Amino acid sequence: MKKPSLLAAAIAAALAAAGCEQQPDAAKPAASAAPAAPASQAAAPAANLGETVATVNGKAISKAELASLTEEIAARGMADRVTQTQLLDELIKRELLRQEAEAQHLENTQDTAARLANIHRAVLAHAAGQAYVKANPITDDMVKQEYDRQIGGSKATEFKARHILVKTEQEAKDIIKKLQAGAKFDELAKKHSGDPGSAAKGGDLGWFMPQQMVGPFSEAVIKLENGKFTTEPVKSDYGFHVILREDSRAKTPPPFEAVKDQLRDSLQNTVMQKHLEELQSKAKVVRNDAKPAEEAAQPAAEAAPAKEAEKPAAAPEHDHPAEAH
């Protein structure tokens, strides 16, 4: 009894990655855990999709459909958990349930019709994104140029610092006076800092690159000497900072091979984002919700095939003022 549940969960997860909705109960058969494709697609003649691997009440399941499901499972790293026989069994079960749903005209219910429309939209959007990326590939030369621009040619410096975050300028000035009188920075941070990520650690932020911090904070750190603290409050969107720069060091940029895939994804994201903006600028979009105009103008990112949004190439993980509230 456990194997079908594992198979259902694996297939449901794979379909979720492909943009299909799924229901939370993974113990159900996968046919119910993830909606079937639109009826017109599921019942397509085998001649349109290639060699037939099974028929259910005269309806064909093609080799291409089986291969597609296999690819989705493999993309989730689950290929070793299921066999081709199990996948074909699953497609047969889905077809049986699809036919039952058609016989009951369930495709005409509002909920089911909405789900089918969303699946259809997601699959075609993904296909369009892939087609655009294929027609506008990110070349190795483009990736290398981006590496040289962002990383390779830079002489980066990273810093180690502590800070005390308070709400008002006067509070910051009072703390600076105490430091000038000989008070210990870490003790004042534990007592007064409003940054939940660093206060308990005496304001310690660890090592960081300037671009990881909000602008005013980074500018102040760069101007300080090692071992010195700011003699004037540093204002940011989070409040007022008193900063102690403890140390600095040259940072060796990561080798090209270590970050090329990440840079390629970032460039691909940028290209797709521009394409979506062009499409939206030419389209007539009428919204009936109350979303602000500036948010509504942002294109939907889910149609882009890129893996993830751009991130710093080698950002250390720690709390810092850019995240403080």
Domains and CATH numbers, the chain: 2-122 (no CATH), 155-253 (3.10.50.40)
Hey, is 78 helix, strand or coil? coil
pLDDT at 120: 96
Distance CA 84, CA 89 (A): 8
pLDDT at 210: 87
pLDDT at 321: 47
Among candidate residues 158, 157, 174, the one with its CA nearest the CA of residue 166: 174
Block means of pLDDT (10 residues each) for the chain, 325 residues, are: 44 44 35 36 46 95 94 88 93 96 95 95 95 94 90 80 97 97 97 95 94 91 96 95 96 88 94 95 90 51 35 37 43
Collect all residues with Cβ–Cβ distance below 8 Å to 44 and sequence separation of at least 6: 60, 62
pLDDT at 241: 97
pLDDT at 324: 42
Indicate the residue type of 82: V
pLDDT at 292: 58
Give, for 257, the enclosing helix (H) or strand (E).
helix 256-282
DSSP letter (8 states) at residue 211: G
> Is residue 185 within 8 Å of residue 229, measured between CB atoms?
yes
